[in-house]
Structure 1
Amino acid sequence: MPYRYGHYEDGPDPLAPPYDVRRALDALGDDVLQGSSLRDALRDMMRRGMDGRRGLDDLLRRTRQQRKAARQRGRLDGTLEEVRRLLDKALGQERAALFPDPSDEARFREAQLDSLPREPSRALRELSDYDWRSPQARQTYDEIQDLLRREVLDSQFRGLKQALQNPDSGAMQQVKDMLSDLNEMLAKDARGEHTSADFEDFMAKHGEFFPEQPESLEELVDALARRAAAAERMLNSMSREQRAELASLMEQTLGDLDLQNQMAQLQGHLRGRRPDLDWQGRQRMNGDRPLGMGEATSALEELADLDELEASLAQDYPGASLEDIDEEAVRRALGRKAVDDLEALRRLERELEQQGYLSRHAGHLELTPKAIRRLGQTALRRVFKDLASSGRGTHDVHDAGAAGEPTGASRQWEFGDEQPIDVVRTLSNAVRRGGASGGRVSVEVEDFEVVETERRSSAAVCLLVDLSYSMVLRDTWGPAKQTALALHALVTGQYPQDAVQIIGFSSYARVLQPGELAGLEADMVQGTNLQHALMLASRFLDKHRNSEPIVLVVTDGEPTAHLLPDGRPYFAWPPEHETITATVAEVDRMTRRGAALNVFLLDDDPRLVAFVREVVRRNGGRMLQPSADRLGSYVVSDYLRMRKGRGARRAS
């Protein structure tokens, strides 16, 4: 049999290649390296979407368009307007039948009609026993009763309006039986006596009244409660006069059909089971077309669904997750393609977890060490790219003694070299020169080559990073975090013999673990406690006394906090003498330890510059004022320069 091929239209392409999760991680890392937290970066990526899939922002925009369209669908008073129109038509038909009759009875009937109340509900109540002279007027009056019956029931049960389009006594009895059985089933469930068989029997008997085709009692209750709550909001959204008029018409209709008690019972059951729904709210409708009660209820029900969908798509509440978004609500509002886009976003998040880039602890996502290493390498590549473009080299020494590590290359021996002799290359040089004869090789001075080595003296590196909120305000927090990641990646990856510690400081100082760096956020507190940070750095250097001490400080403000004797931080602005004295005392201890402080200033405040100049004068370190986008290259190159030791620094 013949086959036809075309685009796959039933959901996402099952043969499409899997997500490039590493590219997704890099996109995530771009935001992280710019200063965002992991939570914000992941949220922004989900909002943007990727790989041709629409993100939450696009779904949210379309949801808001749908909500606007639903609000403009019409007015809520359509049933009242239609009742008035039909009532005026019936009265006109009756007067037309009475006008040719000269009898007193005809004049009396006309007087009755003229004295009817203006409110349709009261007029209909007085006309309930009226003996219509005109058959057409009687038929129009019956149309009003049929309209009210259909609209009132349709406002509570979706689809009953169509079922009762041509009602008879048997159809109305079926509605009454359905309400009686439904209330009985809900009462049994409240007593804990309900079984799944009860629900199946109910749906087999009355399923035609429920186009949603619920598969359980909970689904049935949810559908009915949402519609009942929408009907309540419809009444609340009308003016006081409209609400009273419609309530009176509904009471007459339900009373005439012997349904008022059953409907009241059902309303009580639904309110008790779904008190979380908005039963008292109001909604504004901006359209011009009059809507009947059932149609208006459907519009408000749709508005409520769109409001819930908008809230879940916005993801701006505590503990928000993509799993909170109702796929069926997305399908109803935006179509199947939007459901596919949502599932693609969920799958991307799951893939990041399954491939070991994200881990979940206590409901919170965190970057794994694997992801941290990748982000660190990305940050380091950016720094070295900046170094290459600026011409700042690493200045590694390639002939620093036999204690270094071989580079894999060799060079001609020079007087004073202490590197190991490269025997193979030395003998090869002698043979090529012609020094081999009679089974012996004659070696000359110019034949000797030595193994080239690179000095790898160990260093203890402390990077002190200002975490105060001013770093965010000055847009320097992202570069500072990227610098910390790059330095950590460089030390652990290329200089494993070095020890590195990242210390963050605001009102307090604290040691930052590698896993914290990517998701780190600036502290929303006041205080720049450089004294405490220097104390923690001193303890770290004490553990590595045989290593070259390297202390780098990144800050945008002078010290405004220090530790009191009881360990509590003390903050004051402008800085008080006690804070400056305590900080300088730690600087002097660092100087006696032989550790130079290099301070990278991210602000040009005169007070800050004056303070740092005095610090580096006392310590023998350096003050550098890079722009925020060059901070990483300055810090990394300074680390590479300082790790060569004091001799190399003096030479430079």
Structure 2
Amino acid sequence: MGYRYGEYHDGPDPLAPPYDVRAALDEMGDAILSGSSPVHALRDLLKRGLPGAGDRRGLDDMLREVRRRRRELRESGRLDGTLEHARALLDKAIGQERAELFPDPSDAARMREAELDSVPEDAASAIQQLSSYEWRSAEARQTFQELRDLLRREVLDTRFKGLRDALAGRDPAMTERVRQMMADLNDMLDRDARGEHHQADFESFMAKHGDLFPDRPRTLDELVDLLARRAAATQRMLASLTPRQREELTELMAQTLEQAGLGEQMRRLGESLLSRRPDLAWDTPERLAGDQPLGLGDAVSAVEELADLSRLEAALRQDYPGARLDDIDEAAVRRALGRSAVDDLAALRRIERELEEQGYLLHRRGKLELTPKAVRRLGETALRRVFSSLDAGRRGDHDQHDAGAAGELTGSSRPWRFGDEQPIDVVRTLVNGIRNGGTHPGGVHAGGARAGGARAGGARAGGVRLAVDDFEVAETERRTAAAVCLLVDLSYSMALRGTWSAAKETALALQALVATKFPQDAVQIIGFSNYARVLQPDELAGLDWDMVQGTNLHHALLIAGRHLDRHPDFEPVVLVVTDGEPTAHLMRNGESAFEWPPSNETLELTLAEVDKMTRRRATINVFMLAADDRLRVFVDEIARRNGGRVFSPSAERLGEYVVNDFLRLRRAR
């Protein structure tokens, strides 16, 4: 049996690597850290497109393409092309008849000329009057018949796209077949309105008339949608003409349908479609400004496509309440932008879905929120960025992926406990599994290439079944643990100076660093404005600044002190990120007192907490984000009393300074 390989044409590449959802979260993280909500960050990502996903277009790229296509259609031609063509054929037929009558000196010829002189100016009335005229010129008769065939094809093409080609000949049987199709269609719609329609009825209809519908709808609803959009486009095309053109063309279409014996069936169909799809813009005018005259069917197709593009543009903008990617019509995307755009839209929908399914986003109380898993990912990303900016040549300052959390091995082992970072003692673990007979319920099969075999002393030929109780870890020397306090200014001035995003990213990076490289450390993030509060890791990313007055460093130091007191055996580390001197303190009744310029009481109480930190042997390092003279005087006083250091980094390098300083303190201990 042979196989043949070739280029894959339909759909996304089946061999393409799966999209890395973490890259999308990192892209969202930049906006979230800058103050955007998760839902707005996700929408911005979907509008820009997906990084590293095979150059997938975003909604904005699709929107630009839709608008370009709309401009092209508006400049494609004029809507009155059929009227112009009909008038030209009418004038040609009358001219040919006059040429035939001119040499004839009889009174009968003069009477015919007088009848031609009385033909009305508008094409509909003229064609109606000449329908009963006995043409003497064979060429004129043929031209007039060409005019009627043209109108029959164009008028039916306004309602049934593709019929123009099917009716290219003058076969009366084809017109009768169209009449029968419309009668069957109206009967099917009537049965559906009464609730008597079944899919088998539709399939029987398509087996009989399917070749008249090139789009090959699969259900009655799909067929109704196709015909309703076409009928609405016809009405919009008529509404776009001048009143005189609209009246003339409407009468011309009605005459054509009546002469073909289709008038009553078309009226029934139009009423049914309007009742089923009243949401379509049936009478909204659509202006076309091109120079090329369009036939009636082509004009309706242009208006229909413009209507599709208008709806698609509104859906792609996603600027209405409750907007979702599911609102975008995939069929409309395919018609307007092609199959590749459908794949791009599917990729956008997939990333939105996978962010939830993989546990990064959560819908809670009608809001989209980041999960703790997402916050950890943002912290890891922030930490990688910090490490990438550090000098790789300085020992300990670069990202060391193989660094463990434990110290030197002691040579002994102990049973594994949840949360242990120490390496597994493989030999002792396997020995435990063999001794226990490998009969633990819920155990795992380790190392076996064969699933079966005789058991000998608990061992299986090819592997050992292990349970959780069998695992042992190698004991290590205990490292010195640190109690870490990061105090972050939440005041509104941080947002005004553009330093708020950097402060959040720094907090996330420090949290990630301690969790991954120093798990024995106890870290606490404290935010302060008029009051101070402990910030949980899962709320850091979505945290916003406080639009209140006050920079209450006094309260923040009080909370930090309690954290250090709960870990008396840990090395104390206190880091302060602020852009202003303290302007508030906590009173005895627990309320915040604000005053600008800072009162002596605020400064004294804050410095008193600094002195307490000094007695706890905690060095306070301050990262100053503003070049303010009063702030510099204050932080210099903290350094003099405590012995800590003062840094003045730019917002872009804040994370680098904080992490580097923390690592320096840890190495020193």
Given the two structures, how large is their TM-score scaled by the length of structure 1?
0.74
Offset at residue 231 of structure 1 (A): 1.5
| Distance change in 2, residues 1:558/1:310 (3 Å) | farther
Aligned to 1:632: 655
Task: Give the C-alpha shift of residue 25 in structure 1.
Answer: 5.1
Residue equivalent to 1:235? 238
Further displaced range: 603-612 or 58-67: 603-612
Shift of 1:87: 1.2
1:319-363 deviation per Cα after TM superposition (whole angstroms, max 9, x unaligned): 444444444333333433443444444445555555554555567
Residue identity opposite 1:480 in structure 2? A
- Label 1:493 to 1:248 Cα distance change in 2 as closer, same or farther (>3 A): same
For the Cα contact (< 8 Å) 1:151–1:161, is it kept in 2? Answer: yes
Q: Distance in 1 between matches of 2:24 and 2:603?
A: 46
Specify the code of the residue in structure 2 equivalent to 1:479. A
Q: Check conservation: 2:38, 2:370, Cα contact below 8 A.
A: yes
Residue 485, structure 1, aligned to residue 488, structure 2: no
Q: Does the 8 A contact of 2:554 with 2:585 survive in 1? A: no
Larger mean Cα displacement after TM superposition, 128-137 or 604-613: 604-613
Matched, 1:379 2:386: no
Q: Report the residue type matching 2:490 in the other structure.
A: D
Q: How far off its partner does 1:146 sit? A: 2.4
Counterpart residue number, 2:551: 530
Alignment of 1:504-523 (within 5 A): 504=527, 512-518=535-541, 520=542, 522=544
- Say if 2:150 is the partner of 1:147: yes
Contact 2:583/2:602, CA 8 A, preserved across alignment: no
CA distance in 2 between counterparts of 1:166 and 1:231 reads 24
C-alpha distance in 2 between matches for 1:207 and 1:213: 7
Task: Tell me the equivalent position of 2:483.
Answer: 459
Question: Higher mean Cα deviation, 289-298 or 543-552?
Answer: 543-552
SS where residue 565 of structure 2 aligns? coil
Q: Secondary structure at the match of 1:530?
A: coil
Give, in whole Å, the separation in 1 of the partners of 2:306 and 2:115: 44
Conserved? CA contact 1:462–1:537, under 8 Å: no
Which residue does 1:156 correspond to in 2?
159
* Residue 252 of structure 2: aligned partner: 249
Distance change (3 Å), C-alpha of 1:463 and 1:201: same
Change (3 A) 1:623 1:286: farther
Query: How far 1:86 moved relative to its partner?
Result: 0.9
Higher relative contact order, structure no. (Cα contacts within 8 Å, ≥ 6 residues apart): 1
Tell me, what secondary structure is at the counterpart of 1:374?
helix
Is the 8 Å Cα contact of residues 158 and 230 (structure 2) preserved in structure 1?
Answer: yes
Which string of whole-angstrom CA distances, capped at 9 and with x for unpartnered residues, describes residues 594-632 of structure 1? 488765443446677678779989999876432111111
Q: What is the rounded CA distance, in whole Å, between the counterparts of 1:631 and 1:299 in structure 2?
A: 57
1:189 corresponds in structure 2 to 192
Contact 2:486/2:524 (8 A) holds in 1: yes
Report which stretch shifted further, 98-107 or 17-26.
17-26
Identify the range of structure 1 (377-386 vs 229-238) with the bigger mean alpha-carbon deviation: 377-386
Decide whether aligned partners of structure 1 residues 211 and 471 sit closer, same or farther in structure 2, where only a CA change above 3 A counts.
Answer: farther
Comparing 496-505 with 625-634, greater Cα deviation is found at 496-505
Which residue identity does 2:510 align to in structure 1?
L
Percent pairwise identity? 57
Distance 1:406 1:86, change over 3 A: closer
- Give the residue type in structure 2 aligned to 1:14: P
1:55 aligned residue (51, 54, 57): 57
* Cα RMSD for the two superposed structures: 4.5
Q: Distance in 2 between matches of 1:371 and 1:295?
A: 52
Does the 8 Å CA contact 2:184/2:205 hold for their aligned counterparts? yes
Residue of structure 2 in register with 1:545 after alignment: 565
Residue pair 1:530, 1:561 contacting (<8 A) in 2 also: yes
Q: Deviations over 1:281-305 (max 9, x none)?
A: 3333343321112111112222333
Q: Which amino acid aligns with 1:287?
A: G
**How big is the shift at 1:225?**
1.2
2:528 touches 2:556 (CA, 8 Å); kept in 1? no
Q: Shift of the alpha carbon at 1:82? A: 0.8
Q: CA deviation at 1:223?
A: 1.0
Paired residues of 1:407 and 1:454 also in contact (CA < 8 A): no
> Is 1:14 the equivalent of 2:3?
no
Q: Structure 2 stretches of 5 or more lacking a match?
A: 398-405, 411-475
User: Pairwise mapping of residues 56-455 of structure 1 onto structure 2 (< 5 A)?
Assistant: 56=58, 57-348=60-351, 353-359=356-362, 361=364, 366-388=369-391, 455=480
C-alpha separation in 2, matches of 1:609 and 1:165: 89
Q: CA deviation at 1:279?
A: 2.1
Aligned in 2, Cα 1:274/1:608: closer, same or farther, shift over 3 Å? farther
Deviates more, 1:152-161 or 1:11-20: 11-20
Asked if structure 2 preserves the Cα contact closer than 8 Å seen for 1:393 and 1:637, the reply is no
- What corresponds to 1:440 in structure 2? none
Aligned partner of 2:102: which letter? F
SS at match of 1:100: coil
CA deviation after TM superposition for structure 1 residue 48, in Å = 3.5
Q: For the residues of structure 2 that align with 1:623 and 1:528, how far apart are their CA atoms?
A: 25
1:486-635 equivalence runs, <5 A: 486-504=509-527, 512-518=535-541, 520=542, 522=544, 526-531=547-552, 535=555, 538-539=558-559, 541-542=561-562, 545-547=565-567, 552-556=575-579, 577=596, 587=606, 590-591=609-610, 594=613, 600-604=623-627, 624-635=647-658
Partner Cα separation in structure 2 for residue 260 and residue 82 of structure 1:
23
Corresponding letter in the other structure for 1:602: L
How far apart are the structure 1 equivalents of 2:643 and 2:350? 55
C-alpha spacing 1:120/1:33, structure 2 compared with 1 (3 Å): same
CA distance in 2, matches of 1:560, 1:76: 71
Shift of 1:369: 3.1
Which amino acid letter does the alignment assign opposite residue 54 of structure 2? G
Aligned-partner Cα distance in 2 for 1:252–1:327: 38
- What amino acid does structure 2 have at the position aligned with 1:83? A
Alignment check: 8 A CA contact 1:467 1:522 kept: no
Q: Please report how far the alpha carbon of residue 192 of structure 1 lies from its aligned counterpart in structure 2 after TM superposition.
A: 2.9
1:35–1:481 contact (8 Å) kept in structure 2? no
Aligned AA (1:530): T
Cα-to-partner distance string for 1:62-115 (whole Å, 9 max, x where unaligned): 444444433343221111111111111111112112211223443343344334
Distance 1:381-1:214 versus aligned 2 partners, 3 A rule: closer
Segment drifting more, 153-162 vs 340-349: 340-349
Cα separation, partners in 2 of 1:128 and 1:584, compared to 1, 3 Å? farther
Asked if the contact 1:507–1:528 (Cα under 8 Å) also holds between the matched residues in 2, the reply is yes
> 1:445 maps to which residue?
none
**Amino acid corresponding to residue 485 of structure 1 in structure 2:** L
| 8 A Cα contact 1:559 1:580, kept in partner | no
> CA, structure 1 residues 506+170, in 2 after alignment: closer, same or farther (shift >3 Å)?
farther
| Inter-partner Cα distance in structure 2 for 1:608 and 1:75 | 71
Amino acid at match of 2:536: Q
1:193 Cα deviation (Å)? 3.1
Number of aligned pairs? 586
Aligned pair in 2 of structure 1 residues 192, 370: CA closer, same or farther (>3 Å)?
A: same
